Structure 1
Amino acid sequence: MKRVLVVDDDPTVSEVVAGYLNRAGFAVDVAADGPAAVARAAARPPDLVVLDLMLPGMDGLEVCRRLRRDGPLPVIMLTARGEEEDRILGLEVGADDYVTKPFSPRELVLRVTSVLRRAAASGGAAAGGGAAGGRLSAGPLVLDRPARRATRDGSELPLTAREFDLLEYFLRHPGRATGREELMREVWGWEFGDLSTVTVHVRRLREKIEDDPARPRLISTVWGVGYRFDPPAPPGPGGSGARDGR
């Protein structure tokens, strides 16, 4: 039975979420503030955390940072605020999903199930290696699937778990224009969700792999469609082979 830690200072929210998760077959622990969440996670490590952004004592961003110090841990952020900046902050510390209050508890259960399924699939692929694992490369980028490690010019990239999965998808499908809906299905494993999550992740990934994120050459925007990954051309006798344009 998968264990979920629900962290929210509103007892009504915690009670409702815990009830729905229990009925879905999850074991649930509850904490009402940041320090309690960190202590509870240390005593009984969860498989996933549903974490409110606004908490007394220690905010959700700091709780997320501390919980992920010892390794990857799926986190779904809850907040009463839906601004893009809040989503970016959550993604920066490694949140896997972002749900804005008020929300449907049934939808949250589906999100929890989806994130856990994706985490399990990623772990299995990393452990199994083989054709599903292995190394992918494009120009200065090298992705080592079994090690869950990506480098650029030999330097390791500080990618979140979802950014790693997104980069892997792009490397496996070079030159193909892919819509945000398809990326959400293939990378997140969701049939529904806030498409701005994809937009934010692409932006964050560009900041880590592009020479100039404001003028991306690797991940291009295909207007009206989505995004396309364009591998850099190998240097030739006539020049550097770098691609022009966006």
Structure 2
Amino acid sequence: MLKEFFNNTVVPYEMPVDYIDRFASPIHTAQNVDLFLNDEIKDCITMRRFIRDTRRNPASKVFQTILADKIKVKTYLTDRALTGDYKTNREKRWEAHPNSVQYALRRSCMKIETKLLLQIATFEGCDIGLVHNLQHDGLLSDPFEYCKCPITGDNIQYNEFADDALHPTHGKSKFQVGHLNPLKASDTDGANGHTADNISWISENGNRIQGSLSIDEVNALLKRIYQNRPELHD
């Protein structure tokens, strides 16, 4: 498994070593570091190997392009935050201060990567052959539901996504990776941190509507708009 890991790295100096407890103080001690080769790590490496296999994945170019660009940046690197107590600027998330909202364990980031790649396979119109291969490998459930924008509820269309990935327009993208709820450094249940449970592909319209709101705040806003605008009920 170690050989497979090192043959399928994504970020520089990547290795399956991680902190055991993010909140340990001090964090950087021999007692708080371990080797992690659990199922989540194995699934991530299996997924990386799969997307590069042009025989089993006809959409390999799309997947590799989006992994090397948007997924890698959003998953593994911090946002640019030049104010506040903990400034960050595109360093690896596990290198940020553990009290920063940008911090995440390495294995949490790898789980996010796997989720975002698998979500692409559930976009409406994705190649059925690669879908069947992922199901055969136990990486994708059978049956599955199409991936929807969590804000608008629209099915995300694979062909639009692929075109946007392969023919990008500078400064503009129809699809974003977004946190469903604002990041919180003290998050322990995954609902408000940089975790797989709190991240998803979001459409351009969904991203515009959400802004800096949480999912609950978005839902409350949409309900209020609907109630205040009876002319829209038809």
Question: What is the TM-score normalised by the length of structure 1?
Answer: 0.35
**TM-score computed with the length of structure 2 as normaliser:** 0.36
Q: Between Structure 1 and Structure 2, which shows a larger proportion of strand residues?
A: 1
If asked which structure has higher relative contact order (CA below 8 Å, sep 6+), I would say 2
